[in-house]
Chain A
């Protein structure tokens, strides 16, 4: 019998339409896998009750058997939602104790669109607290483990979503990317994901971290699957003033892997000393493979790349320190202290309920915005951000897209960087620039290191070039099999 957790989304949709499987069977197959593997992996913070998921599945089956002539594209297919996106009726913790029992009275637009397309939520996935981290080690609910090797981190902050997709607990999951939080866990878990153009997807209902950088994306097991989900998620939302009124194209994928005429930029700043040799060789091999499909590669320079790290770690914490001011023990969350008045209640609640990394970033951002330092730190960072964005603008006058590694190394071990924040931040050096520039980037697996851990490549394109990234990524996946490997999870 077909293993229903191994199908592509297109195959799944076809089988549901022809009656070769039911949504109930599909949801049950994934629930069974979650039951078996979740104790070892810990990909979810909160699971939805199986009864509710199965009731949704039965409703979908009713629709499929009924007279619906054009059933929605994701009908009856299960998904997982990163726990920084609101889904009415389920708590939304953001990986934090300060939102431990927060039950949002509304649903994020991006989530609602997938539900409207027929998808069935199975739960809320683990994340570093307020999406601040690169390993899920900053989650107040304990880390997620990498399905390829349980001693290694799954990446972060969307580590729960990436690990759940890699281990086939769900066919796809929603994730967010502020500084690499879709792409880095995709690279570490061997799955595919899109960090969209800033403004391409709605942020309404997303717990805000760095508002000028936050994007909502998708993680799945192939470019084709990502594109199929993204088709339903993208687009203007009147409830988010930063979402853009740009038409969403039909993300049609090529049937044959022809990249003739495509110009791919290869930035030397992304192949620096200190990068793990197997990461460099796998990414270079993938680039050569794209050349074999007809693409032309051109060496390019993105000279301000090395400044993305200090720029990001001033701007994102500054925005976070403002965004997280709302967690004050008044409107939601637990309350601590208060015996000696409201000021003591504010400081006690925030001091006790935020975790160490969140407090570190709030402190850093508050400092960067404080009187006397604003110009020197925040102002300066915003100006260098202009230069980083200009690097990309100039590069895209020359090339169609840019290919580069997602991360300098494959998945690291638990505890390897927890005592040294700066070393942890350095994990993000290749992912931060796309967020600062606002451009889209697609992460996909291009190989494995000698320990069997996945290597990821990212394709970065100009604003609103998701369709190009999908077509090129799909062409590569027609000719490669890295994305079809499963981790052997039998613990």
Chain B
């Protein structure tokens, strides 16, 4: 059984990877500049925030929950961070601490509502979304925060390594923000793969009741998941500010659905218990490559939504249909075994009666 599960898991993520590769080839046939270092770096840089947040969302989906408040949380974090830098201090370490604390605090509120008050995740986060966005927009009036201190801007421009890129005179490198994505992905992967917490998260997502029966404290784990998600959103908020060099409280409206779509494209199940860091990264890449590819192929902006919608629906449909076929196969095996067992027992009964 375990073997079957691992092969399915492998094939699922490999399928998405295959789709990613095929789409990349198609795009690069239409437009040669897709596979240039400059373009790929741009794609990475503009989607780091999405990728970091999708790590948090992955954990939430794994427990069978959902979080629609993430867009409001990150816009609150960026506002807090922006105000902190402008009015208090622009020490980079302090800025990161403030951002992460703000994110974790809001995650804690979500977690308490969901784990302790047992409010269904979608409803609880709907409520906090409304509250947090309301407070942020009331306090900022929707105005941008500009005048981010120079040292933070400089920090955002740091690159790792230097190489020349075709079509541009200035040498570029991997943006420093990429490091945080690597950090977030590695940490999430480690937690899921090698800690009791991670195993517990898969367990409550698979079947909450049986997880509780074997002694897993699902309340505390749920709380952890939302706080950890808040922590990652805090990180993403600071990273976003370092990329954009200003704060727009309205920048993230509707972002939550993009994150959920990307994670789901990566094979995570919204019913919980299934999904991986690798798959999520591939899903996020697929999401970004499609968006970038449509621009490079000069397809009007209006078509992008249609393509994303169609890709989302077809990829999940294929997955569901595959799973159903697999299940049918399994059922047949079960029936065969039962018939054989029945035959065996009836034979043995006959033998007994004869004796």
Q: Say if A and B assemble together.
A: no
Residues of A at the B interface (CB closer than 8 Å) are: none
